[in-house]
Amino acid sequence: MRLLNVTRFMLHVQAIVALTLMVASASWAKEIGADDPERVVGHLQDSLIKTMQDGKRLGYRGRFELLAPVIEQSHDFDFIARTILGAGWTDLNASQQHTFMDVFRKLSIGTYAGWFKSHAGERFEILEQQAMPRDQIMVRSRLVLPKGNPVRFDYIMRREKDGWRIVNILADGVSDLALKRTEYRAILQRDGFQTLVDMLREKIALTEKE
């Protein structure tokens, strides 16, 4: 009986957590207008500029905490992870999938926190959006620098139940998804799951030193 009660309690907790996440996601989608791909990208970029402006005061941990909810809501991590690993994803058990998602999420947020840490007058400009195959949208933008040529950031977006989510980013035409797919799959196939996870954790440690 005690085991049954514990099981019921855990199911109840899981239901509450799921409902809370659904409500939070719906609230976020309404707040930023997630039905508009450009507004999703704009909200992310506004947050990056704010992080850069307050970067020194916040430090790495503060930047991470500021960006985490924005990136989690604007990126489709589940789709990205499955696409990167391909058939390798289905070969992982549930625990391994959970571990990979957790580490990959931390690395993704940490990379933003490491890169966007200071401000010297940079600004983002959204240029246009284009229809893509498989009902996806590309939002084209650029980061205008005080000196030098602007950096192009093109966001490939996919529509989910609660709005548009980023599934790939092209920096000056280079696909982040393609780079990770090549690197991660090679390590997974050659050296195994644990080596892949250890490599990602090493990358996280490096972002903290940026």
Give the DSSP letter of residue 75: B
Q: Which two tokens stand for residue 164?
A: 């548009």
Q: How far apart are CA 142 and CA 136, in angstroms?
A: 20
Q: What is the mean pLDDT of residues 85-114?
A: 97
- Asked if residue 20 has pLDDT above 80, the reply is no
Closest CA to 165 of 37, 64, 8: 37
Query: From CA 113, how far away is CA 51, in angstroms rounded?
Result: 8
What does the pLDDT read at residue 199? Answer: 98
Global pTM value:
0.82
CB atoms within 10 A of CB 77: 18
Q: At what angle do helices 77-85 and 94-115 cross, to 10 degrees?
A: 110
Give yes or no for residue 10 having a pLDDT over 80. no
- What is the C-alpha separation between 159 and 34, in angstroms, rounded? 9
Q: Cα dist. 95→9, 171, 178 in Å?
A: 21, 33, 25
Percentage of the chain beyond pLDDT 70 is 83
Give the lowest-confidence range in 96-100, 110-114, 160-164, 189-193. Answer: 160-164
**Does 16 score more than 60 pLDDT?**
no
pLDDT tens for each residue of 155-172 = 999 999 889 999 999 999
